[in-house]
Amino acid sequence: MAVDIDPDAVRVAKENVAHNGLDAMIDVRKGDLLQGLSQQFDFAVANILAPVICMLAAPLKKHLTPGGRFICSGIIAEAEPDVNKALLDAGYTIDEILSTGELAPFRLISALT
């Protein structure tokens, strides 16, 4: 399942899913990420602003299976401590943090439930 609040992102995602022949496997929806969601998933991926990741960390956890992963990216270096704290406070274990360095501030954090 892929969910985005931006209609253009949903349109592009649907095109990419169709182009790759994954229509039967991936359900692309427009919506507010966790609204109306009752399923559990093995992993979730979010490439959004750090404050949104911090806000979603705790509510998202109930939608992950035991041992599930939450992979979040697009985090600038200055926001990494806040994201780490939000993840730890929500009960995640930070598995790995990857960075592309100072010239391209990007962080990928893999958090295990």
Answer left, alpha or beta for residue 74, where phi above 0 means left and psi between -120 and 50 means alpha: left
Residue with tokens 């979730």: 44
Helix (H) or strand (E) holding 19: helix 7-19
What is the C-alpha to C-alpha distance for residues 93 and 113, in angstroms, rounded to an integer?
Answer: 6
Phi and psi at 76, nearest 5°, equal -75, 155
Does CATH number 1.20.120.1460 belong to domain 36-112?
A: no
Residue with tokens 């939000």: 86
Domain locations along the chain: 1-31, 36-112
Q: Can you give the pLDDT at residue 99?
A: 82
The structure's pTM equals 0.82
pLDDT by 10s per residue, the chain, length 113: 998 989 999 999 999 999 999 999 999 999 887 787 888 999 999 988 899 999 999 999 989 999 999 999 888 888 889 999 999 999 999 988 888 766 556 677 888 77
